[in-house]
Amino acid sequence: MNNTETQSIYKNIQNAITSAGKKLGFSDATITNITEPYNVINQSVLVPEIGKEIDMYRVQFNNALGPYKGGIRFHPDVDLDEVKTLAVTMMLKCSLIGIPLGGAKGGATINPREYSEQQIEAVARTWARTMSTYIGVDKDIPAPDVNTNGQIMSYMLDEFEKTVGRSEPGVITGKPIELGGSLGRTQATSQGGVYVLEKILEFMPELAGDKKIIIQGFGNVGSFAAIILKNLGFTIVGISDSRGAIYKDSGFDVESIADEKNTSRTSLHEMFADVDDVQKISNEDLLVQPCDILIPAALENQITELNADDISAKVILELANNPTNTKADAILKEKGVVLIPDFLANAGGVTVSYFEWVQNRQQYYWTAKEVDERLFAIMNKATDAVYTLSQKESLTLREAGFQIAVERVGKAASLRGNK
Ligand code: GLU
């Protein structure tokens, strides 16, 4: 995504925080405190294994509610504005769902597809070494995001612990179980999103009978969402990866597609090249195909003023961060589309990251059932609060979410003296 687009997403989030903050009666000092990042770490670091310097980032947006928290993205489009945008979104997310953590985000500007497993490991270790004085179990706790996973978290934990000379499993979440990960973390973002969706459909029974779903993105989040929803009786009519989309009105066997994706680098278009009744289309075209529920689960800025009018879904569940721009938001509101905003819809990931951190601190581990019940409780409570406020004050779910998130983090900032 280009620089101007990320800058404008960032500005729009700052504006939304400011107007919610004003409505809530916060002072200018409090509003400034929660609209600008506390720390920005931005370094170009030589990674000898790939023979060049890589830009590495950590933006620590706000820790009024607790230690900074947020994932690390490996992507060629990562830049400072994107990381800031994702960091402020983390602040809002943790605040909205009521967990005692702040907001941060990190990244490295690389295209992982161009490198070997060893080279990616070197980038991960370099990132952890570079950031080792800034992160820590009581300071800032990274996690996976786009193109990073449990293996990358393992390299980072190992490098961090070697650098600081002690065991500190709670410095990073999204780890494999063997290194102190939590049961349920891998599918947590998707499972949390499904709990939110089910709750909204319970509130709006007129939408509940409609079962056709399109999911943009078939990485960790998109593929687990597809499997969970299919098992609940929904039909997954469209999916995509970074190289293209496929659509079939009668639906896909998403479990076997996910299995194949996990064992090969085959694209969806390649996988279905010889299957006539499957339409091979672009990622952009996928968003406007017929469906009842649309789930963007890839990158930001996918639903814009250019395609919002053509979207047929009645419900949008934002599992990606910032997939819809402000102009599209207004168009969708006008059309009466129910848009479940990212900082509620995809908060299941950081929720189970929080559980992982709690378990690491206690060195005492929970059962899958305990994790799932607690995830359900948090997602349900947050969805209830957002929906109830939206009804009471005639707000969209996003506007209501902003208000709740800004209120909690703004109060914490102001209690600390930023008033
Ligand atoms: N990257 C995920 C997100 O955007 C998870 C963050 C975390 O677990 O800290 O919410």
- Of 340, 371, 399, the last residue of a domain is 340
Is the predicted pLDDT of residue 3 greater than 70, yes or no?
A: no
Q: How far apart are CA 120 and CA 30, in angstroms?
A: 40
pLDDT score recorded for residue 209: 80
Q: Is residue 240 part of a domain?
A: yes
The answer as to whether 119 is a domain residue is yes
Last residue of one domain, picked from the residues 277, 312, 340: 340
Are 159 and 207 part of one and the same domain? no
Whose alpha carbon is nearest atom 8 of ligand 1? 350
What pLDDT is recorded for position 2?
59
pLDDT digits (tens, 9 = 90+) for 365-402: 999 999 999 999 999 999 999 999 999 999 999 999 99
Q: Could you please report the per-residue DSSP string of 296-340? A: E-S-SS-B-TTTGGG---SEEE--SSS-B-HHHHHHHHHHT-EEE
- Tell me: do 157 and 205 sit in the same domain: no
β pairing state of 293-296 and 212-216:
parallel
Are both 334 and 246 inside the same structural domain?
A: yes
pLDDT tens-place string over residues 328-370:
999 999 999 999 999 999 999 999 999 999 999 999 999 999 9
Q: Are 371 and 182 in contact (CB under 8 A)?
A: yes
Q: 199 CB less than 6 Å from ligand 1?
A: no
Burial class (CB in 10 A: 0-12, 13-18, 19+), 24: middle
Residue type, 58: R
> Which ligand 1 atom minimizes the distance to the CA of 352?
8
Q: What is the largest CA-CA distance in the chain?
A: 64
Q: Examine the domain organization and report whether 198 and 328 are in the same domain.
A: yes
Asked whether residue 390 is assigned to any structural domain, the reply reads: no
Please give the pLDDT value at position 20. Answer: 96
* 21 close to 30: Cβ distance less than 8 angstroms: yes
Mean pLDDT of the chain: 96
Which residue, 67, 302, 287, is CA-closest to 172? 67
Does 131 contact ligand 1 (Cβ within 6 A)? Answer: no
Q: Which residue has the tokens 């996690």?
A: 143
In a domain, 285, yes or no: yes
- Same-domain status, 143 and 202: no
- DSSP 3-state helix, strand, coil percentages of the chain (rounded to 5)? 50, 15, 30
Model confidence over 311-332: pLDDT tens digits? 999 999 999 999 999 999 999 9
- Phi-psi category of residue 214: left, alpha or beta, with phi > 0 → left and psi -120 to 50 → alpha: beta
Instruction: Please name the amino acid found at residue 311.
Output: I
Q: Report the share of the chain in percent with pLDDT over 90.
A: 95
Q: In whole angstroms, what is the distance from residue 398 CA to residue 327 CA?
A: 14
Domain of residue 125, CATH code: 3.40.50.10860
Pocket test for ligand 1, best of 319, 353, 354 (most atoms within 8 A of CB): 353
* Same structural domain, 218 and 93: no
Last residue within a domain, chosen from 340, 361, 390:
340
CA distance 92 to 16: 11
Whether residues 133 and 52 fall in one domain: yes
Mark whether 153 and 195 lie in a shared domain.
no
Q: How far apart are CA 157 and CA 153, in angstroms?
A: 6
Contacts 24+ apart (CB under 8 A), 202-207: 203/387, 204/338, 207/292, 207/314, 207/315, 207/338
Does 127 map to a domain? yes
Q: Which ligand 1 atom sits closest to the C-alpha of 347? A: 10
148 plus 197 within the same structural domain: no
Q: How confident is the model at residue 252 (pLDDT cuts 50, 70, 90)?
A: very high
Please identify which of the residues 69, 84, 93, 105 carries the catalytic annotation.
105
Q: Which of 218, 191, 214, 233 is nearest to 346 (CA)?
A: 191
Residue 369 lies in a domain: no
Residues 146 and 194 in one domain: no
Residue 1 has pLDDT above 60, yes or no: no
Residue-wise pLDDT for 161-212, tens only, equals 999 999 999 999 999 999 999 999 999 999 999 999 999 999 999 988 878 9
In this predicted model, what pLDDT tens digit does every residue of 95-149 receive, in sequence order?
999 999 999 999 999 999 999 999 999 999 999 999 999 999 999 999 999 999 9
pLDDT tier at 12 (50, 70, 90 boundaries)?
very high
Does a structural domain hold residue 399?
Answer: no
Q: Supply the pLDDT for residue 133.
A: 97
Average pLDDT over residues 75-92: 97
203, 123: one domain = no
272 domain residue, yes or no: yes
What's the CATH code of the domain at 283?
3.40.50.720
Q: What is the pLDDT of residue 313?
A: 97
What is the number of structural domains in the chain? 2
Residues 209, 100, single domain; the answer is: no
The residue type found at 259 is: D
Ligand 1 atom nearest to 346, measured from its CA: 10
Give yes or no for residue 353 CB within 6 A of ligand 1.
yes
Q: Is the pLDDT of residue 419 over 90?
A: no
Is the pLDDT at 4 greater than 90? The verdict is no
Task: Reply yes or no on whether 381 is catalytic.
Answer: no
For ligand 1, whether the C-beta of 220 sits within 6 Å is: no
Nearest residue (CA) to ligand 1, atom 7 = 350
| Domain boundaries, position 122 | 37-167
H helices of 131-272, in order, are 150-164, 188-203, 220-231, 254-263, 268-271
Q: What is the pLDDT of residue 216?
A: 98
